[in-house]
């Protein structure tokens, strides 16, 4: 049923991807592997749990996690 699904919303440069997992064990392992600052859990009564992941980028090698630097006083991003 849809109540047993866990959805991972992955925000990339251009698109928002949705990864739907029906296996609770795999979803839990994926949740535990993420740093706390990158996940925002939203309980959804009708469709199970939705987890929005931020700061993801797609590269030629696949999906990678990277930190996005904060903006400086002029509103520009500062490289680390």
Query: Please, are residues 46 and 67 in contact by the beta-carbon 8 Å criterion?
Result: no
Instruction: Reply yes or no on whether the pLDDT at 74 is more than 60.
Output: yes
Residues 14-70 pLDDT 10s: 777 788 888 888 888 887 877 776 666 555 544 555 555 555 544 445 555 555 555
CA–CA separation, 6 and 37 (whole Å): 19
- At residue 76, the pLDDT reads 65
- Domain limits of the chain? 2-65
Distance CA 17, CA 23 (A): 19
Query: For the whole model, what pTM was predicted?
Result: 0.45
What pLDDT was estimated at residue 69? 57
């Amino acid at each position: 049923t849809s109540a047993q699904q866990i959805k991972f919303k992955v925000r990339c440069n251009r698109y928002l991807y949705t990864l739907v997992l029906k296996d609770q064990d795999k979803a839990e392992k994926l949740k535990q592997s993420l740093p706390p600052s990158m996940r925002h859990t939203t309980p959804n009564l009708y469709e199970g749990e939705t987890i929005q992941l931020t700061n993801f980028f797609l590269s030629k090698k696949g999906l990678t996690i990277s930190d996005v630097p904060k903006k400086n006083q002029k509103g520009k991003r500062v490289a680390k």
